[in-house]
């Protein structure tokens, strides 16, 4: 009798667990980094916290390495509600939500402290809120450090870039910046960049230091020049359809977990960036070059006039970001 009761209880618990599992919501999140990248690790922290906070009612399944499409493709899918969540950087998001252009102007931020003040404060939140009108509801910024040029020769001034084919993201700001610096901007997908560098399809690229190691670009580009032209964050975002399908408690849990993962990510990023530079130097033979930024800053100044002409909203945003540096 006891055995029968135990069996019945076990069966009932199993049925309840199955029912709870069936009721659980699972959000699919696509990104283009490998599993050992800080972005993926931070996303997993977010997913774990969401599941714990909702007692398993809300889960996030993460697809690394662009399994569900490129950054542009997954952004389009989120926008049309065929994908729940994705990660892209503000350089590519500018084409979907123009308000992100403020992040993409070169030398916008005076320091890492200035940058962090913006993404964690009211200005950063106002940009996420504005972008939600375009179907891309931002939850958190993930810093990806300052972007610099890497090629097979030192880039110490804009003159060194003259005539070079430099891979850029499909972003109007990135294209214009490289043009003003005298190079030929060449949009190429991230997954194709290693072979493009190896085969000479492009002469170089621009990114943060982890590109040298996690993407192995340091194997085919031996000079990393720290001009640090932009600090472009990535954004973790959700479709309006998926967001509207959540309960208020689930929205709170997701928003809180996303913000917590952003704080975690910022702390971990510097460690990863410093480690990437050390590894690139010691194991790949990459030379790191300090750069006088003044001629680069002067060369890209026309971008500010071009970006704000006829766009008072962006002009005001730029003024707010600059004022926050004080």
Domain map of the chain by residue range?
Answer: 20-323
pLDDT classification of 173: cutoffs 50, 70, 90: confident
Confidence label for 130 from pLDDT (cuts 50, 70 and 90): very high
Q: Are 205 and 217 in contact (CB under 8 A)?
A: yes
Q: What is the pLDDT of residue 270?
A: 87
Average pLDDT over residues 54-73: 96
Q: What percent of the chain has pLDDT over 70?
A: 93
Q: Looking at the predicted structure, is the pLDDT value of residue 263 above 50?
A: yes
What is the value of pTM for the model shown? Answer: 0.81
Condensed to tens digits (0 to 9), the pLDDT of residues 224-241 reads 999 999 999 999 999 999
Q: 122-126, 189-193, 242-246: lowest mean pLDDT where?
A: 189-193
Q: What is the mean pLDDT of residues 128-141?
A: 95
Quote the DSSP letter at residue 218: G
Residue 147, pLDDT > 80, answer: yes
CB-based contacts of 55, cutoff 8 Å, min separation 6: none
Give percent of the chain with pLDDT exceeding 90.
79
308 has a pLDDT exceeding 60: yes
What pLDDT is attached to residue 264? 95
Mean pLDDT of 241-270: 96
Q: Is the pLDDT of residue 253 over 70?
A: yes
19 pLDDT higher than 60 = no
Q: What dotted CATH number matches 20-323?
A: 3.40.190.170
Specify the pLDDT at position 12: 47
Terminal-to-terminal C-alpha distance of the chain? 76
Q: Is the pLDDT of residue 259 over 80?
A: yes
pLDDT value of residue 62: 98
Distances (CA, A) of 267 to 47, 142, 143: 18, 11, 10
pLDDT band at 16, cuts 50/70/90?
Answer: very low
State the burial class of residue 91 (Cβ atoms within 10 Å of its Cβ: 0-12, 13-18, 19+): buried
The reported pLDDT for the residue numbered 241 is 96
Q: What average pLDDT score do residues 248-272 get? A: 95
Please check the confidence at residue 5 and state whether its pLDDT lies above 70: no
Task: Calculate the average pLDDT of the chain.
Answer: 92
The 10 Å Cβ neighbour count of residue 29 is 26
H or E element at residue 318: helix 312-323
Looking at residue 326, what is its pLDDT? Answer: 76
* pLDDT tops 60 at residue 145: yes
- Are 272 and 144 a contacting pair, CB within 8 Å? no
**pLDDT score of 169:** 86
Confidence of residue 23 (pLDDT cuts 50, 70, 90): low
Q: Is the pLDDT of residue 212 over 50?
A: yes
The model's confidence at residue 4, banded by pLDDT at 50, 70 and 90, is low
At residue 37, the 3 state secondary structure works out as coil
For residue 267, the model assigns a pLDDT of: 87
């Amino acid at each position: 009798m006891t055995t029968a009761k135990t069996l019945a209880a076990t069966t009932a618990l199993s049925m309840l667990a199955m029912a709870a599992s069936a009721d659980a919501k699972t959000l699919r999140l696509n990104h283009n980094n490998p599993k050992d990248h800080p972005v993926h690790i931070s996303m997993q922290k977010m997913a774990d916290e969401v599941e714990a906070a909702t007692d398993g009612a809300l889960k996030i399944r993460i697809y690394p390495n662009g399994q569900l499409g490129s950054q542009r493709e997954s952004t389009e899918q989120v926008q049309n509600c065929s994908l729940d969540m994705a990660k892209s950087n503000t350089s590519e998001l500018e084409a979907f939500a123009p308000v992100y252009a403020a992040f993409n102007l070169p030398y916008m931020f005076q320091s890492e402290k200035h940058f962090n003040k913006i993404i964690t404060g009211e200005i950063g939140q106002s940009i996420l809120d504005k972008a939600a009108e375009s179907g891309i509801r931002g939850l958190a910024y993930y810093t990806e450090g300052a972007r610099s040029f890497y090629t097979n020769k030192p880039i110490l001034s804009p003159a060194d870039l003259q005539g070079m084919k430099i891979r850029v993201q499909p972003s109007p700001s990135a294209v214009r910046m490289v043009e003003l610096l005298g190079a030929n901007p060449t949009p190429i997908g991230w997954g194709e960049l290693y072979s493009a560098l190896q085969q000479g399809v492009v002469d170089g690229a621009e990114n943060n230091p982890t590109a040298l190691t996690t993407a192995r670009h340091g194997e085919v580009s031996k000079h990393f020049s720290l001009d640090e032209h932009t600090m472009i964050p990535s954004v973790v975002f959700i479709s309006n359809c998926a967001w509207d399908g959540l309960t208020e408690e689930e929205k709170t849990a997701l928003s809180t977990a996303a913000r917590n993962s952003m704080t975690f990510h910022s702390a971990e990023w510097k460690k990863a960036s410093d480690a990437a530079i050390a590894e690139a130097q010691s194991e790949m033979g990459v030379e790191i070059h300090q750069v006088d930024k003044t001629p680069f800053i002067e060369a890209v100044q026309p971008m500010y006039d071009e970006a704000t002409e006829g766009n008072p909203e962006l002009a005001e945003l730029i003024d707010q970001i600059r004022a926050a540096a004080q």
